[in-house]
Amino acid sequence: MKRNLSILSATLVLVGLFAGYALAADDAFAVLEQLEKNYVGLEKPGLDTLTAKAVSSAAPDAPATIYYAKGKGLKTKVEGAGPNAIIAQQMIGSFVKTNGLCSEKPSATYKLTKENVAGTCEAATLNGVKVSQLTFVPLKDKKLEFTKLVIFVDTKDWVVRQMKVKADEAESTSDFEYKDGLIFRMVTSVPGNTTTITNTYTTADKFAVPAKMEMTLDGKAVPENMKHIIITYSDVKVNVKIADDIFAAPKVSGDVPKPTETAAELFKQVQEAMMKGDMATAKLKLKQISAYYPDDPMAGTAEMMLKQLPK
């Protein structure tokens, strides 16, 4: 279950790949670069800030406030503490990005550079639609969070139609449907688990903004309270002033070295350390997430976990 959720979380980060452009070259890296340059999603020109209240049915006692500012990033602040607050932080902070708000570039998340991976691009057909199939595989001397990553790009509408992420023996497949250039439905399948996410949008000052995200998890290992989750957004405001301290980076003490890992990799190390009872390592990794990845959804979770771990 943990591996499946990890793959799902990793897959969610990749959904910010939609736009129209003239194909520069028949090359995986060139196509990926153009996709990222032309990313649109909810971040339309003129949308400088966005705030919203959000609550997850899985943790109704832990409402959150979302803050987005162009050039500053995305912050999710959850009320309260405890397990439900951690659940809300992860869900609301991660899933809001599937709406295309402040999605991290996959080239950065997955370290998709010519120094780390080999990439190929070939013509293919997916469900009767002509697509460009981008395939990325880590080089022999590189250990990454995946062993194979495949992205199918619709070369007519320039959207991602399907994505496959393989990590060790586990593999996820995600299919995407769009409305007005925004993801309407995403279905992700991993061994023993299928997750369907359906997004509903509304408008605020003529900008498309998230209204509701409904998630259904189908699998034997899925807890009852996680089988059907609804995240609702309310009090959505755009282009309002947001206090500077909302996005202020936490102070970094001298005993917290700058990490080379991503926030997701650090959190995985936290889990491994805690399973071994190595609380010192777990605390260090949590501090690194909080200090060096303040805009990542995991930052809030890291801060809450630090407060709950024994001194």
Among the ranges given (100-114, 121-135, 147-161), the one the predictor scored with the smallest mean pLDDT: 100-114
Find the mean pLDDT for residues 290-298: 76
Rounded to the nearest 5°, which phi and psi values hold at 304?
Answer: -70, -40
Find the mean pLDDT for residues 223-245: 90
Count the alpha carbons within 13 Å of 228 in the hemisphere toward its beta carbon: 0
* Mean predicted lDDT score pLDDT of the chain: 82
How far is residue 92's CA from residue 142's CA, in Å, rounded to a whole number?
32
pLDDT band at residue 240 using 50, 70 and 90 as cut-offs? very high
Q: Which of 165, 103, 105, 108 is nearest to 134 (CA)?
A: 165
Find the mean pLDDT for residues 116-145: 92
pTM for this structure? Answer: 0.74
Q: Which of 306, 257, 261 is nearest to 279 (CA)?
A: 306
DSSP state of 67: E
pLDDT exceeding 70 applies to what percent of the chain?
86
Considering only residues 290 and 4, tell me which one the structure prediction assigns the higher pLDDT: 290
Residue 138 pLDDT greater than 50, yes or no: yes
Residue 44, pLDDT score = 86
* Cβ atoms of 145 and 263 closer than 8 Å: no
Residue 24, pLDDT score = 35
Residue 297, pLDDT score = 65
Residue 236 pLDDT greater than 90, yes or no: yes
> What would you report as the CA-atom Rg of the chain, rounded to the nearest whole angstrom?
19
